[in-house]
Amino acid sequence: MSRLTRAETQERNRAKVLAAAQDEFTEHGFRNAKIDGIAERAGLTRGAVYSNFPGKRALYFAVLADLAERAPEPPRPEPGRTSGEALSAFARAWVARLPLATDDQRGAARLGMDLMPEVVADERTRRPFTQLMKLDALLLGLALERMRPPGAPPRRLVPVAEAVLTVLHGASQMAAAAPGFIEPFNVVSTCEQLADLRLDDEWAPPHVQWIPRARPADEAWSPPRAWDAVTGAPARLTGDGVVAVLGLHRLEAVEEAVRAVPPGAEVTAVLVTGDAGELVPLARLAVADFRGCLRQAFPRSAWPRLQVVYDESGAVAAAAGVPAVSDGTEAAVCVEAGRIVARADGRGACHSAASADQPGPGRPGSTQTGQTEARPVR
């Protein structure tokens, strides 16, 4: 039998730590779980645990993310045919995961009840989590916009999506804090009716006077293989469109690219961070929880055409010419015919790259004046 490589050994140890941590957190809860207990369950040393995860909270986030990404999908009901029906199905999928009053206080169903207290306890996690919620709301809003009836006037439905997620996250917290208080049917009904809520849906692009103009470029574009976290399929990084490299403090900026590109252009949010050990699992968890509900509620044709890529190693960012990243990174490139034709950095980079005023037909967002109109998503 051949010996395992160093990488294979590390991967096997990581899997053992995750499995042991899930058992420890399930039995004792996050606060009472011990790293020594996890190491003992895994048959490893305390140092081996820390060599794979920087701390107990990072390990907790990783366990929850792993469970969310591997959760078997229940038989899919018929997806919603209207935005209201889709939101109803989305909410039903959400509340179906909530713990019941009869569940064991420290059983698997309550494994995630310490998530929000850990997120809000530290600015290092609270600020990225805010932006991850902005990203989830954008994805949900785009899905709702794609279900607009033929001939209906365009509306930006991100504010409606924010209201829906507020209701559902509130229901999650009440289910953890006051088991039995929540009536799931009322939560579902509330979310369905929010589809018709008229909120401020105007989209105002950033003023071109205050953002950096995109710089013309002519560079080869050879991105590494990556996966789209929304669809679970390989990301389409070589098509025409915008690739936005965004730190976890700047995720909401990707909407500037989404609103500026013309129909058919790809927009990809490449998520980077200066704390990959703790924050990448948190990002994986936020998107995986959303994706599971999206798949059960919306027809495939309504899934948002916004790709999300986790760039834990920084390889995609480096290919885009962004070798150093942090949680405040905001950079974007415009890709056409396999080449980078424009790039921008700093606040407003997504809008600038998407509306780069370069010569040639079909260039994403090109206009006579270099400004773009507010427009609904494809």
For residue 358, the one-letter residue type is Q
User: Comparing C-alpha atoms, which of 20, 15, 28 is closest to residue 114?
Assistant: 28
| Reported confidence tier of residue 364, pLDDT bands at 50, 70, 90 | very low
Beta strand 330-336 with 339-345: parallel, antiparallel or unpaired? Answer: antiparallel
Q: How many CB atoms lie within 10 A of CB 262?
A: 17
Q: In what order do the strands lie in the sheet with 215-220?
A: 215-220, 339-345, 330-336, 241-247, 266-272, 306-310
Q: How confident is the model at residue 199, as a pLDDT?
A: 86
Which has the minimum average pLDDT: 31-35, 177-181, 206-210? 206-210
Token pair, residue 190, equals 């509330």
Spell out the residues 6+ positions from residue 295 whose beta carbon is closer than 8 angstroms to its own: 73, 76
Q: Which residues pair with 227 in a beta bridge?
A: 234
Q: Are 364 and 222 in contact (CB under 8 A)?
A: no
Q: What is the mean pLDDT of residues 78-101?
A: 88
Q: How confident is the model at residue 75, as a pLDDT?
A: 65
Over residues 115-129, the pLDDT tens digits come to: 999 999 999 999 999
| Reported confidence tier of residue 71, pLDDT bands at 50, 70, 90 | confident
Kindly report the pTM of this predicted structure.
Answer: 0.90
Q: How confident is the model at residue 143, as a pLDDT?
A: 97
| Reported confidence tier of residue 180, pLDDT bands at 50, 70, 90 | confident
Most confidently predicted of 109-113, 173-177, 281-285:
281-285
**For residue 291, with 0-12 CB atoms within 10 Å meaning exposed, 13-18 middle and 19 or more buried, which class applies?**
buried
Over residues 130-146, the pLDDT tens digits come to: 999 999 999 999 999 99
Q: How confident is the model at residue 375, as a pLDDT?
A: 42
Mean pLDDT of the chain: 88
CA angle 161, 162, 163 (to 5 degrees): 90
- Does residue 77 carry a pLDDT above 80? no
Q: What is the mean pLDDT of residues 205-218?
A: 82
User: Comparing C-alpha atoms, which of 74, 46, 49, 75 is closest to residue 63?
Assistant: 49
Most confidently predicted of 3-7, 114-118, 204-208:
114-118
| Reported confidence tier of residue 103, pLDDT bands at 50, 70, 90 | low
Over residues 230-276, the pLDDT tens digits come to: 999 999 999 999 999 999 999 999 999 999 998 889 999 999 999 99
% of the chain at pLDDT higher than 90: 72
| Reported confidence tier of residue 209, pLDDT bands at 50, 70, 90 | low
- Does residue 321 carry a pLDDT above 60? yes
Which has the minimum average pLDDT: 14-18, 150-154, 231-235, 288-292? 150-154
Q: Are 267 and 254 in contact (CB under 8 A)?
A: yes
Which has the minimum average pLDDT: 231-245, 283-297, 356-370? 356-370
- Does residue 314 carry a pLDDT above 70? yes
Q: How confident is the model at residue 97, as a pLDDT?
A: 86
Over residues 7-17, the pLDDT tens digits come to: 788 889 999 99
% of the chain at pLDDT higher than 70: 89
Q: How confident is the model at residue 9, as a pLDDT?
A: 81
- Does residue 341 carry a pLDDT above 50? yes
